[in-house]
């Protein structure tokens, strides 16, 4: 009898052990299983905890002690090979199991060599270039001990009031997916363990960019079809590119906070997509579920976070405080904890941290190398968007005398943009010295006009006007300081801050040609200024090499080729405004717009033949998605659609000839849009489904072709199925979202 019960107990224990260890042939999985079986619960919970030591502990000896006890799995914001190695040495040599830390940092668009902000990089429509830029960022960061960055930020946003629009890829899921893939590949390389590769983090999962009213941290209301068709594709693209981690976001989606959202984190990310890296919460976003009113206590928050699928808690301590009790109360299971720990260890193994935990302190220059700066400059060139160029004001002749005016003409800190922790303003090359370097000091006269973008004093105007009088052309560099966009920096109004409008008017009144260069983290409402200036170059916050890039563009040493990744509204009242909107029952059209001032006095109540638009703003944006000029011109001709009818899941090829009809060799970004005319749910009036950057010499013609398959033609329907539907499609290839040659085909 005794022997029988002994056997039974042994069998149960053995089965329990087996269930914790999934049998596997994969060497990493084997190592994970062995390790998990050795870990105490405290050590497991420790892996699920990430802190910024200086924010969490009063003394550094506490950090060491916690690491020694295996109570911390990851730190953020510790930089420098020596500092990182010191902590890593404690983890590896002094903790019981020697599990290395994973060290994270926000390297959003550059470490020391700052690239243009992500929204700007997206304006390049050049994924290869973006991958190179992100690889530089990863390489620089890893030389300082950082093996994990909280990038790419791939939140779709249709609201430029949202400060974080600067950090993301813009409004379109197709372009954002291309950027997500490029950024993940650039950061992670082919092998996470290779030198210079760092783990990426697709954030913020999900729906953060849909914050109501563009107010940061605000609620998002996203129907399932919109979630799948608009907000999820960039995250899926990151998964397909092998992204190591995801970050759950601050917002709630349809009433459920993203960090406690089992539907998005478990059902979609894990089950549908098969993601096997780990999910980290955003800073305190587990504990913030209490503020959301979704959790009553920190214990409740830990339970919801774990049950949703957040593996690691950043900064708040709900997990470390409550996991034991939650297990005792059976609110969560040890299998869930083992899985989270396995997800974290998997990435640590893939990064090679167990074999090479330390950062080599080398004398070889990695930061700000000539190559890195060259990539940063090229990235800034390709990111700039030419919005206006009357009478070919640009490029400027190098023999002209130039008045350089404006608060951002020599603003080394601000041109770097938001989310810059490690870039130094001393390394930034601004517009003023770059123009002086090109033309010589005698040809340049400088007046700031305003000390900063928010300056409300006009005391500098006299000098600015004088500078304009003494020059042939004025280059006005205006916009917003870097701190006006980014996290928690939403704006209700998008006009230029301070007295910048007045400065532009005062300078324009002198009568010299005016080139307005805008440095900003978001689309600004600059419609009132369009008639007042001759040319507009939208440079965004364009990083360390922003100045030389702008100088090259202004004087024709480089040709603008950027295209807008987000619609520019005429004013805030038009928001949300985006190109891939629905048609409505009364689609807006110019013939049926009775503008405000044309409404007859005492008109009787009627709909005036009006459609879905505003009486004051109409329905068109200031600048449409995909828009951007060049110094040359391009003609599109000969659109060919390979088949009139294709079967379900068939493919169709669409091609066009593009000719450079101007006098500069330049790049054009050809864009393909489709319109699925009828659907089981209403379809957007246009959807980007392909783009290609082509270089053309003057007079040269190249044919550009695209293949459309189920991937491009299907959409997520009301039953959460990704399906194409039979019916007619329009297709355009053109220079932006409102122009283009049109063809059609049908699925039958």
Residue 477 phi, psi dihedral angles, 5° rounding: -105, 105
Alpha-carbon distances, residue 250 vs 204, 205, 283, 694 (angstroms): 8, 9, 8, 40
C-beta separation of 258 from 252 below 8 A: yes
Tell me which residue has tokens 């994990």. 148
- 17-26: long-range contacts (C-beta < 8 A, 24 or more apart)? 19/335, 20/334, 20/335, 20/338
231 binds ligand NOJ (CB under 6 A): no
Distance between CA atoms of 110 and 17, rounded to whole angstroms? 45
Q: Which residue, 192, 285, 273, 287, is CA-closest to 238? A: 273
Cis peptide before 206 (omega within 30 of 0): yes
Nearest to ligand NOJ of 282, 534 (CB atom): 282
49 binds ligand NOJ (CB under 6 A): no
C-beta separation of 419 from 491 below 8 A: no
Least distance (Å) between residue 150 CB and ligand NOJ:
3
Least distance (Å) between residue 486 CB and ligand NOJ:
10
Nearest to ligand NOJ of 207, 395 (CB atom): 207
Least distance (Å) between residue 35 CB and ligand NOJ:
27
Instruction: Provide CB contacts within 8 A for 255, sequence distance 6+.
Output: none
427 binds ligand NOJ (CB under 6 A): no
Least distance (Å) between residue 290 CB and ligand NOJ:
17
Cα Rg for the chain, rounded, in angstroms? 28
Task: Map the footprint of ligand NOJ across residues 83-142, applying CB under 6 A.
Answer: 106
203 binds ligand NOJ (CB under 6 A): yes
Q: What is the DSSP letter of 441?
A: G
Nearest to ligand NOJ of 104, 548 (CB atom): 104
Least distance (Å) between residue 190 CB and ligand NOJ:
25
Nearest to ligand NOJ of 283, 579 (CB atom): 283
Distance between CA atoms of 169 and 176, rounded to whole angstroms? 5
Nearest to ligand NOJ of 203, 570 (CB atom): 203
Q: Per residue, what are the HEC states of 21-78?
A: CCCCCCHHHHHHHHHHHHCCHHHHHHHCEEECHHHHCCCHHHHHHHHHCCCCCEEECC
Give SS3 for 16. Answer: helix
Nearest to ligand NOJ of 283, 716 (CB atom): 283
Distance between CA atoms of 722 and 680, rounded to whole angstroms? 12
Q: What is the DSSP letter of 97?
A: S
Q: Report residue 263 as tokens.
A: 């539907």
Distance between CA atoms of 599 and 605, rounded to whole angstroms? 11
422 binds ligand NOJ (CB under 6 A): no
150 binds ligand NOJ (CB under 6 A): yes
487 binds ligand NOJ (CB under 6 A): yes
Closest chain position to ligand NOJ (CB) = 150
- Strand 634-641 to strand 652-660: parallel, antiparallel, or no bridges (unpaired)? antiparallel
Least distance (Å) between residue 561 CB and ligand NOJ:
30
Least distance (Å) between residue 315 CB and ligand NOJ:
8
Nearest to ligand NOJ of 205, 729 (CB atom): 205
CB atoms within 10 A of CB 208: 28
Q: Which residue, 667, 658, 659, 716, is CA-closest to 687? A: 716
739 binds ligand NOJ (CB under 6 A): no
Nearest to ligand NOJ of 36, 491 (CB atom): 491
Distance between CA atoms of 87 and 98, rounded to whole angstroms? 12
282 binds ligand NOJ (CB under 6 A): yes
Is 282 catalytic? The answer is yes
Nearest to ligand NOJ of 204, 239 (CB atom): 204
Number of residues that bind ligand NOJ (CB under 6 A): 6
Strand partners, 634: 660
282, 300, 311, 414: the catalytic one is 282
Nearest to ligand NOJ of 265, 539 (CB atom): 265
Least distance (Å) between residue 487 CB and ligand NOJ:
5
Binding mask 161-200 for ligand NOJ (x = CB under 6 A): ----------------------------------------
Half-sphere exposure of residue 597: CA atoms within 13 angstroms, side-chain side: 1
Give SS3 for 615. Answer: coil
C-beta separation of 202 from 147 below 8 A: no
283 binds ligand NOJ (CB under 6 A): yes
Instruction: Provide CB contacts within 8 A for 4, sequence distance 6+.
Output: none
Least distance (Å) between residue 106 CB and ligand NOJ:
5
Least distance (Å) between residue 497 CB and ligand NOJ:
24
The residues annotated with a catalytic role in the active site are 282
Binding site for ligand NOJ (CB under 6 A): 106, 150, 203, 282-283, 487
């Amino acid at each position: 009898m005794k022997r029988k019960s002994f056997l039974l107990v042994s069998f149960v224990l053995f089965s329990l052990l087996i269930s914790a260890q999934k049998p596997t042939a994969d060497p990493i999985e084997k190592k994970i299983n062995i390790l998990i079986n050795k870990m105490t619960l405290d050590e497991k919970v420790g892996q699920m905890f990430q802190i910024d030591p200086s924010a969490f502990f009063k003394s550094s000896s506490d950090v060491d002690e916690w690491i020694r006890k295996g109570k911390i799995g990851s730190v953020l914001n510790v930089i420098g090979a020596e500092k990182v190695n010191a902590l890593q040495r404690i983890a590896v040599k002094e903790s019981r199991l020697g599990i290395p830390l994973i060290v994270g940092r926000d390297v959003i668009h550059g470490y020391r060599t700052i690239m243009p902000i992500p929204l700007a990089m997206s304006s390049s429509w050049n994924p290869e270039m973006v991958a190179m830029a992100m690889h530089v960022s990863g390489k620089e960061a890893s030389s300082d001990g950082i093996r994990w960055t909280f990038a790419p930020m791939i939140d779709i946003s249709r609201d430029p009031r949202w400060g974080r629009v600067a950090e993301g890829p813009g409004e379109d899921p197709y372009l954002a997916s291309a950027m997500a893939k490029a950024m993940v590949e650039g950061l992670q390389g082919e092998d996470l363990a290779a030198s210079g590769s760092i783990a990426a983090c697709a954030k913020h999962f999900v729906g953060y960019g849909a914050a109501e009213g563009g107010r940061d941290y605000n609620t998002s209301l996203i129907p399932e079809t919109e979630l799948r068709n608009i907000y999820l594709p960039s995250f899926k693209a990151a998964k397909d590119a092998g992204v190591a981690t995801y970050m759950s976001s601050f917002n709630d989606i349809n009433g459920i906070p993203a960090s406690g959202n089992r539907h998005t984190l478990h059902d979609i990310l894990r089950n549908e997509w098969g993601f096997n890296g780990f999910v980290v919460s955003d800073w305190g976003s587990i504990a913030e579920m209490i503020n959301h009113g979704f959790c009553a206590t920190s214990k409740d928050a830990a339970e919801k976070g774990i049950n949703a699928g957040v593996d690691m808690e950043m900064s708040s301590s709900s997990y470390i405080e409550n996991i034991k009790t939650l297990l005792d109360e059976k609110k969560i299971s040890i299998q869930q904890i083992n899985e989270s720990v396995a997800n974290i260890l998997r990435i640590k193994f893939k990064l090679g941290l167990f074999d090479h935990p330390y950062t080599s302190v080398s004398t070889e220059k990695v930061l700000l190398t000539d190559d890195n700066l060259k990539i940063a400059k090229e990235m800034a060139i390709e990111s700039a968007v030419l919005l206006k160029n009357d009478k070919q004001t640009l490029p400027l002749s190098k023999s002209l005398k130039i008045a350089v005016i404006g608060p951002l003409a020599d603003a080394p800190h601000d041109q770097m943009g938001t989310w810059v922790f490690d870039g130094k303003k001393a390394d930034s090359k601004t517009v003023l010295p770059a123009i002086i370097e090109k033309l010589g000091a005698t040809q340049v006269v400088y007046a700031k006009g305003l000390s900063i973008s928010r300056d409300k004093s006009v005391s500098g105007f006299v000098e600015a006007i004088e500078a304009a009088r003494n020059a042939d052309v004025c280059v006005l560099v205006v916009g917003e300081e870097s701190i006006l966009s980014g996290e928690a920096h939403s704006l209700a109004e998008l006009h230029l801050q301070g007295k910048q409008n007045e400065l532009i008017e005062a300078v324009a009144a002198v009568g010299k040609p005016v080139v307005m260069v805008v440095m900003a983290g978001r689309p600004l409402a600059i419609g009132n200024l369009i008639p007042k200036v001759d040319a507009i170059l939208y440079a965004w916050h364009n990083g360390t090499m922003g100045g030389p890039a702008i100088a090259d563009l202004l004087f024709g040493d480089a040709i603008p080729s950027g295209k807008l990744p987000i619609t520019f509204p005429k004013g805030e009242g038009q928001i949300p405004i985006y190109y891939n909107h629905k048609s409505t029952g009364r689609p807006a059209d110019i013939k049926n717009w009775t503008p405000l001032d044309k409404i007859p006095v005492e008109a009787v109540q009627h709909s005036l033949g009006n459609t879905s638009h505003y009486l004051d703003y109409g329905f068109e944006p200031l600048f449409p998605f995909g828009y951007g000029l060049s110094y040359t011109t391009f003609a599109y001709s000969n659109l060919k659609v390979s088949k009139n009818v294709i079967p379900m899941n068939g493919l169709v090829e669409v091609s066009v000839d593009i000719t450079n009809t101007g006098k500069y060799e330049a790049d054009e970004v050809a864009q393909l849009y489709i319109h699925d005319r009828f659907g089981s749910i209403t379809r957007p009036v246009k959807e980007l489904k392909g783009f290609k950057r082509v270089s053309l010499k003057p007079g040269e013609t190249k044919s550009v072709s695209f293949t459309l398959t189920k991937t491009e033609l299907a959409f997520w329907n009301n039953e959460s199925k990704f399906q194409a539907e039979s019916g007619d499609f329009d297709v355009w290839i053109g220079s932006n979202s409102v122009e283009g040659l049109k063809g059609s085909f049908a699925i039958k």
